[in-house]
Structure 1
Amino acid sequence: MNDNLKDKLENIPTLPGVYQFLNDKQKVIYVGKAKNLRNRVRSYFQKNLDSPKTIALVNKIEDLQIIVTDTEIEALVLENNLIKELKPKYNINLKDDKSFPYIKVTNELFPQIYPTRNIERDGSHYFGPYTDVKNMKSSLRLINKIFKIRSCKLDITNEAIEKKKFKVCLDYHIKKCEGPCEGLVTAERYNSMVNQVIKVLKGKSDELINELKQQMIEASANLEFEKAAEIRDRIEQLYVYTSKQKVVSTDLEEKDIISAAYEGKDVAATILNIRNGKLVGKRQFFLTIEDDTAEQQIYSSILKFYYNEFVEIPKEIIIDVEPDEKETLLKWLNSKSNRKCHFVIPQKQSEAKSLLNMCKQNAILALKEIQLQKMKKEGNIPYVLSALKRDLRLNQIPRIIECFDNSNLQGSDAVASMVVFVDGKPKKSLYRKFIIKTVERPDDFASMKEIISRRYSKLKDENQPLPDLIMVDGGKGQLSSAIDALNEIGYNNFEIIGLAKRL
């Protein structure tokens, strides 16, 4: 630890805030937040660290920067924004930093409804983010079909209407718009229709249908039959839409189901949005993590990334495990919503547990998909082979693996076999059987030496390369016999392991 860093550690305040660790190139490698900056930052430099990830991080820290905030919730928001902006190596980061689209309901006299990737704090309503663009476009088509919302970008004000600045377009003549540009519909009626759209986007279609039924009855009672027929058609179209939504819960409480699947440095997160017992939306995004990242940290990061956007916060969040900083997260979520939110971690078999299992299966499928994409980029190398190379500390990816075992029948009829795996899959056409010829009595070590010698002497005679990894079934004795055989043939550079039962 350098003198500059020591001085900074001595003068850290005991206030809430955000801290940034920098390496020797003055690049931010980690961003964190704390209720008490002094205690949290100094804890990294204790002697009893047990996490390999933390030890590796501390060894690279050359400088420190802190930002003091008024509250811990402010620190949480700032930390999340800095992580998204700086993408530090030792933080959990979004794998794909592209902005997802939202459906925007503008804040004006006659609101527009359209997709956007740019968030502006201008009082508009945003619905999303839609990780599936096809799903978003489907929602917009539904809105345009059922509701007469204007598609133009005109700045329609009372002054513009009075001066007759605009003329109705084709949408008015084909009955897809009610002509707000010429004042042919009142702002009150138009905004009532926009509020109905918002209910659909929030997944409250059943509530809207009940309201429309009441309006239809009132219109009929007032002899406004054309209006009643229009409302009836809207109800029928909404029934078609809601029939496509899967009923997944008998509980009508608003809830989000969150689950994640992870392997290596890849994390796939799935969020299912359930409103009035129906599955109204699914969001998916991907994260990158460092080795040894705790599951609680992963879920904490998922919650921060997702709910930091313009999304509706439900009353219940059903999740696999209790996230890190649970109390702070709940305070933050409650500050963003006008109602209390709470976490549910189902332990016993229940409806919530079944929903969580369904969400987990979606996350696993998403993880397999990104692993498949990675395999294509890396030349179809399965992740398991990369993990094997890492765990066994091999020099190269073991794309071709040959495995040997021998056996005998009560001391006689000794035989052996070889199985071959290519790119992690069995290649049965390359399997071989051996009859032991030179060993007369039961001797696993000598038998292993014979088959290894026969197999790789033949390869050498044919100028064929060795496999990337040789595996022998047995402990130190069988492994030593195999190595001796390879050395006698003239091989010096090879990868070989032995598999033995743990005592």
Structure 2
Amino acid sequence: MDIPALELQIKTLPNQPGVYQYFDKEGTIIYVGKAKNLKKRVSSYFTKTHDSGKTRVLVKKIAKIKHIVVDTETDALLLENNLIKKHKPRYNVMLKDDKSYPWICIKNERFPRVFSTRRVIKGGGDYYGPYTSVKTVHTLLELIRGLYSLRTCNYQLSEEKIEAGKFKVCLEYHLGNCKGACEGLETELEYNENIKAIKQILKGNFKDSLHQFKRQMRGFAEHMQFEEAQKMKEKIEVLENYQAKSTIVNPKISNVDVFSIVSDESYGYINFLQLSYGSIIRSHTLELKKRLDESDKELLELGITEIRQRFHSNSKEIYVPFKVYLGENIKVTVPKLGDKKHILDLSVRNAKYFRMERFKQIKIVDPDRHTNRIMAQMKADLRLNDEPRHIECFDNSNIQGTHPVAACVVFKNGKPSKKDYRHFNIKTVEGPDDFASMEEVVYRRYKRMMEEGRSLPQLIIIDGGKGQLSSALKSLEALNIRGKIAIIGIAKRLEELFYPNDPIPLYLDKKSETLKIIQQLRNEAHRFGIEHHRNKRSKSALSTEMETINGVGEKTVVELLKHFKSAKRVARAKLDELEEVVGRSRAEKVYNYYNNK
């Protein structure tokens, strides 16, 4: 990937928390990092001067960037560690200490010990974590030790040594914290049953343990042991808090593929999250170009098959937003609530962000494709026969019934064409009558365009409800062009779109690009109309008194107001001050007028 393409990727990153991955030109992942704001963090690598030589080398080797959007910084922290653990990127070893977060280890030995550590040793045992809070680790260990009797000594408890009587029970045995496995007082089978239960706790199955804690808390409270009850309550709160926020490392979701789809008129975007042992280990988004107006179901089935083959996935269960058929051997789950739905929503968010970034990139490097997509989308959303390449929007402005004016703004290919904007002073309507004013300006606008042989728009938007729309239709009928131009009205309150002869309005998705363009047109027409109205009122105000002075015109009034800033100051000015601005003759007329008053 060349440098401009890399810069394009950086420009279109989202301002969201997440994890970023750097790849070299061979496609090897070389660095994984977390960010509170992906765009700011990744941009900083390329805009700052780095003191570390290792960082400068890393930046030179970056050829491609991938990212995964998550909900919180904590999720980003956990996901970062999972990806580092999975991929072991070269530069994470040099640039980041990935052992700085605590883990819980179940030692790989006879009568395993359970303890916290910051060092992960391959083959040393089963590791759970990393955890972002040391308090959570301590609470988990206290929970485990409160429920199960485990050894804490570091003896090598081989069968031969125990039979030979090499060890003696320690104080922990006499305190009831250990059952004396070192003297053969506890069998390996009994001990390992406890270890199995502990592994379930560490995987997130807190149900039985929390129930026991709550029972203990109630028991302490009943016996008036409120300090002990408070300690139990704090442990319960910490564990429930940990369980609720553990989205990325969720032990309930194991060895599952998650797929979601976001689509538009031309493309489908399928996001894939691969989960192994409760952790996201891969994220990928596939872009599919539609050929025959395929449905989301068809695209998703095709995309799932392609992605699973590409990444050699053998998961027996997948999460999807709706039912798809992938054969008898794959369990298809459509989550509705809870953590499963949350992880599916996370996949949807990543698909949406990928789509947004592609739109931003296309807008920069291929504006024609971006325009074509927008036009096709508007045609479909608004149920038009033709793409609205040329749109005109009308708005009336008559504040307190004075100086009625109207504005017409023009968008071509989805963008303002300001040279084509037009103001209208209402000529045939007396008083504030929005309906009659709309009828007049629409008639005048298109009568002139037809006389001049100019091409008519594909779409007219009327800022107003059914009344203004009906008035505009009268003018199109009078000009015999009603069937040639699509026309709709937009009501301000609920963003309702009205069509001729249809009493039921159309409601577009509040986030749709079509509605955003219509709102932009409406707002631009309103701004342009108000600006003209304000200018008319200002001009009228200026001409009210000073222009009644015999021999003083608009130009003189403007010059005086520019210099003196207000009519009051003009009235109080001395003759020589006035003369400096407008000359002797006109100065005398103004001076005499105000002084004679």
* Interval of TM-score (by shorter of Structure 1 and Structure 2): 0.3 to 0.5
Q: Normalised by the size of structure 2, how large is the TM-score?
A: 0.37
Bigger-Rg structure (1/2): 2
More helix, by proportion:
2
Q: Whose relative contact order is higher, 1 or 2, with alpha carbons under 8 Å and at least 6 apart?
A: 1
Q: Normalised by the size of structure 1, how large is the TM-score?
A: 0.43
